Amino acid sequence: MAATFQSSLYASRRRRNRISMGLAFAATAFGLSWLVLILAVLLWEGFSGLSLSVFTEMTPPPGSAGGLLNPIAGSLIMTTIAVLIGTPLGILAGTYMAEYGRYDRLTTVVRFINDILLSAPSIVVGLFVYEVMVAQMGHFSGWAGAVSLAVIVVPVVVRTTEDMLILVPDTLREAAASIGLPRSLMITKVAYRAARAGMVTGVLLAIARISGETAPLLFTALNNQFWSLNLNAPVASLPVVIFQFALSPYHDWQKLAWTGALIITLAVLALSIIARTLAVQRKTS
């Protein structure tokens, strides 16, 4: 009697275990299948439109052939400026948090706020830059777009810089101090060098993050159908053009939107894979 009860309990426990482990397999397959599905469609739709003219011609009016040269150039320029503004700021802030004020109250507060900025809705950043720059200057501009991207770069770089500098062994710092190196030199010559791979990873991740950002550009850089490198005027960017073209009723435009989407995704995936390999090298070395 007792034995049969025991074995039925055992059987039901085993059954429950098998079901839940089956669910775990299924969940993983479910998650991975989305990645495969999205990439497959993207490659299929994007590659068929990929040609040299995409990189050499301007965005066309509806109904005619063209390329994506002006949005690609606009994206590259604004991303570069955003990184040039955001990276030094982020590295300096991260340096303070890891080197000078590791146990400060200021550091605790900044870390908390920075983590919130890291996940804050990017469209709010767009509104902020609109209020601060576009509304004040009276027109949309590439500068405003670059600044709003920079606001997104900063928290990413702050976070990785701090994390990486904290990993640098204190013995290195002590060694530097013991030969009489001033603290600023110790940081720039020793700590930065030891944490370099990780910090580069952070910058790459930040670039990956902003190269697909659309929301903050919508009402800062706006869009521009023509070739323009004037940063005081609206500048086209790849994500905004994808947004506009994908929602248009014209088939040519939708085709170009897919191609642009493929270009962005490949760039972002390449960046994050490079960043990951760098991070792995650092861990194993």
Q: Which of residues 44-103 bind other proteins (CB under 8 A)?
A: 45, 88-90, 92-93, 95-97, 99-101
Among 23, 137, 175, 229, binds other proteins (CB under 8 A): 23
**Which run of H or of E encompasses 153?**
helix 142-167
Does 158 engage in binding with other proteins (CB under 8 A)? yes
Instruction: Retrieve residue 83's tokens.
Output: 């990184």
CA of residue 163 relative to chain centroid, distance: 17
The span from the CA of 88 to the CA of 75, in Å, is 20
Q: Which of residues 200-229 bind other proteins (CB under 8 A)?
A: 208, 211-215, 218-219, 222
The span from the CA of 191 to the CA of 170, in Å, is 9
In terms of CB distance, is 66 or 243 closer to other proteins? 243
Instruction: Determine the longest span between alpha carbons in the chain, in angstroms.
Output: 87
Among 123, 200, 233, 274, binds other proteins (CB under 8 A): 123
| Residue environment code for 80-97, b if the CB has 16+ CB neighbours within 10 A, otherwise e | ebbbebbbeebbebbbbb
Among 47, 112, 226, 227, binds other proteins (CB under 8 A): 112
Does 151 engage in binding with other proteins (CB under 8 A)? yes
Query: What is the CB-side half-sphere exposure of residue 193 using CA atoms within 13 A?
Result: 8
In terms of CB distance, is 69 or 132 closer to other proteins? 132
Among 69, 85, 172, 181, binds other proteins (CB under 8 A): 181
Cβ 114 to other proteins shortest distance, Å: 5
Among 115, 175, 229, 230, binds other proteins (CB under 8 A): 115
